[in-house]
Structure 1
Amino acid sequence: MKTYRYFLFFLICTAISCSKDDLSSGVETSSTAHLYATGGSGLVKRYDINTGEVTTYNTGAVNASGIKFSAEGDGFSLVSAGNSRLEFFSDISMIQSGVTTDIEADYGGTDDLENPKDLAINGNFYVVSDNTDLDGDETTAEGRLFIYFKNSGNYILRNVVTTRFKVWGIEFVGNDLYAAVDETNRLAVYRNFLSTHTLNRIITADKHVGFQGLLQMHGLDFEDGTMVLSDIGEMESNSDGAIHIVEDFVSKFETAAPGGFVQADQQKRIAGGNTLLGNPGDLVYDSAYNVVFVAETTNGSGRILAFNDARDKEGNLAPDLRYDFSGVTSLFYHTQ
């Protein structure tokens, strides 16, 4: 359970004051407020929002994504495309803050992955999305979901299911797994995913729903009834990205007809030149402070952006926090 001591505030950063490693203490939250970010080069950065310190871990996990920090395990899991596996790095609290250091994975799963995109966790089960073109035919879309069980310091592959679409971001809402249908504006759901899909086979989603105004969905994150979705727009553009905020998400998703849409007036949308959103990939939402952090992959060669009052504002907003991180791929926000 999160316990907070202070009110949230952001300093509205300019290109000068929040570039490179000059991250000011723009957010005052609880005694622990750490934003973890992965990069394509294998770097993981931890930003201490209270102090402005940046700690850099050189993990060797090239093209890492899907980072998740666990306070109980004092470490983080991430998916390494370069190493083709899920990995865990422990004893993070033992490393001096504000430095750059090399670390090695304590353990990892088998080298099964080919083109992993995201990681979702439900209890001791870890699910990795992989959108490899399995048959070499671009006209037949498919992806895979690798289901691992974490046990005794290891990730054990339970089974692999094949989806009928290219999959990108994934997120558990209770026991249901939601998956972004790559190259579309659609979100698919698999009911009771872990107990229903226990064999290696092709599976069909229980429902698909589109989101009006969204072009190409990649990232998603859910907390306390609100789902946030990233729209990369046209892949070639570095200025047409957007963030969609959907309150009372489950009700709106269920109300929409199968194959239908959540209408534009049922969402809030952050988009436009002031936002610096081009191809926003992963994103993370914190409901207590009503803020969304975004991994912007192309605008400015890669940035971390944050938008305050996410449930209350929309339109062509300037980010409330901006931090340059070339090659940023995924984010996780940890508070206590």
Structure 2
Amino acid sequence: MIKRNFNSMCALVLAIGVSFTSCSDDDDNDGGNDDYDSVTVYASNNSNGNISVYDFESDQMVETKTLITTTTAADGIYYDDDSESVFQASRSGNSLEGFANIDDLVTESILNINFAGTSDMSSPREVAVNGNLFVVADNADVDGDEMTPDGRLFIYSFDGSSFTLRNVITTEFKLWGITFNDNDLYAVVDATNELAVFNDFLSNNTDATVSASKRIAIEGIVRTHGITYDDSTDTLIMTDIGEASNGQDDGGFHIIAGFTNKFNAVSDGETMAVAGNQVRVSGASTLMGNPVDVAYDSDNEIIYIAEAGNGGGRILGFSNFTAGGDIAPTFNSALASASSVYLED
């Protein structure tokens, strides 16, 4: 990444109220961590639908910019490095939208939609991408009966210029966060503490109702929303929003290292215990009340959270999570009604 003017960067940091240890204008000093790999975090929100971009030059130096969209509420977000394009699920338009060549844009740039999907969905949430296929989880009740939870997964093909709806999968539970591990799709079971997997998910290429290949409970979680999987470390992370009525201080996240073996060891319908399997981060110091999405920077060992409730909404970063517990974030930037985060390294 290009090193930008330092003085303007620090002024911007102070203006947005981000928590840091220090700033330095010495190009040989990256804040004390010579092994830090520069990353960019993209975030969406349900307050105004704009896209927030956080360029981390080090663990203590960041430049933030906001890109203005015509969407008024958005959720799942994804960035493609090859085309320098960012995509998000528009909740106000019920469609996918993409914006090309964003890397060199300055803050407050107004975006025009370069790649538009059809308005097929009712309540889009997370986006998961596998090759040229974009999967969007839709949280709306399908059959109109709240006593029979269900949801839909919309599968779109992208040809580099437009989206085409390939097919729709109806699920037997409510949806929120989704993530791929190779061709298997993991999904949180909204309103519960459960995790489901659809093996070889994309082989389902026609409209159908499909049962999960496996569902298990995650001990210690009250209600899960966000999920991410890092294949380089075989780590899965799930968020816990706690009670829906409390958006300020009862949230958390669970880290499951060595996930594959641990998941395989739990039978369908059974529970993965906390002891020996998971690390939980929660408590008042975390500033989490409604953590709705998560991204993991495994190279720098930082977990990023889209927190929708506490203080009106925040993007939080945790680099001190190994032992779990009630820990303060090492990065904290206000973002009203934050809804999704995506990390590009």
Same structural fold, with TM-score higher than 0.5 when normalized by the shorter chain: yes
Of 159, 162, 182, which residue of structure 1 is paired with 2:190? 182
> CA-to-partner distance for each residue in 1:39-80, whole Å, 9 max, x for gaps?
211111111222532211011222211111111011111100
Corresponding residue SS for 1:100: coil
Which ranges in structure 2 are unaligned for 5 or more consecutive residues?
Answer: 2-11, 22-30
Query: What is the TM-score when the length of structure 1 is the normalising length?
Result: 0.90
- Greater shift, 77-86 or 58-67, is seen at 58-67
- Show the 5 A alignment for 1:73-112: 73-96=83-106, 99-112=107-120
Corresponding residue SS for 2:285: helix
Provide the C-alpha distance between the structure 1 equivalents of 2:328 and 2:14, rounded to a whole number of angstroms.
15
**Does 1:191 find its partner at 2:199?**
yes
> CA-to-partner distance for each residue in 1:206-262, whole Å, 9 max, x for gaps?
100110011101000011200010000000112111110000111111110110111
- Show the 5 A alignment for 1:152-301: 152-195=160-203, 197-223=204-230, 224=232, 225-237=234-246, 238-265=248-275, 266-301=277-312
Q: Is the 8 A contact 1:88 1:105 kept in 2?
A: yes
Runs of 4+ residues deviating >3 angstroms: 17-20, 22-32
Corresponding residue SS for 1:253: helix
Deviation at 1:31, TM superposition (A): 6.8
Aligned residues, how many?
Answer: 316
State the structure with bigger RCO (CA 8 A, min sep 6), 1 or 2: 1
**Percent identical:** 35
Q: Is the 8 A contact 1:20 1:323 kept in 2?
A: no
Deviation at 1:200, TM superposition (A): 0.6
Query: What is the TM-score when the length of structure 2 is the normalising length?
Result: 0.87
Q: Is the 8 A contact 2:13 2:63 kept in 1?
A: no
Deviation at 1:32, TM superposition (A): 4.2
Q: Is the 8 A contact 1:44 1:57 kept in 2?
A: yes
**Does 1:23 find its partner at 2:11?**
no
> Cα 1:277–1:49, aligned 2, differ >3 Å: closer, same or farther?
same
- Show the 5 A alignment for 1:316-327: 316-327=326-337
Structure 2 counterpart of 1:35, one-letter code: V
Structure 1 counterpart of 2:262, one-letter code: K
Corresponding residue SS for 1:264: coil
Please give the root-mean-square deviation of Cα atoms over the aligned residues, in Å.
1.9
Corresponding residue SS for 2:103: helix
Q: Is the 8 A contact 2:41 2:341 kept in 1?
A: yes
Q: Is the 8 A contact 2:79 2:342 kept in 1?
A: yes
Q: Is the 8 A contact 1:280 1:295 kept in 2?
A: yes
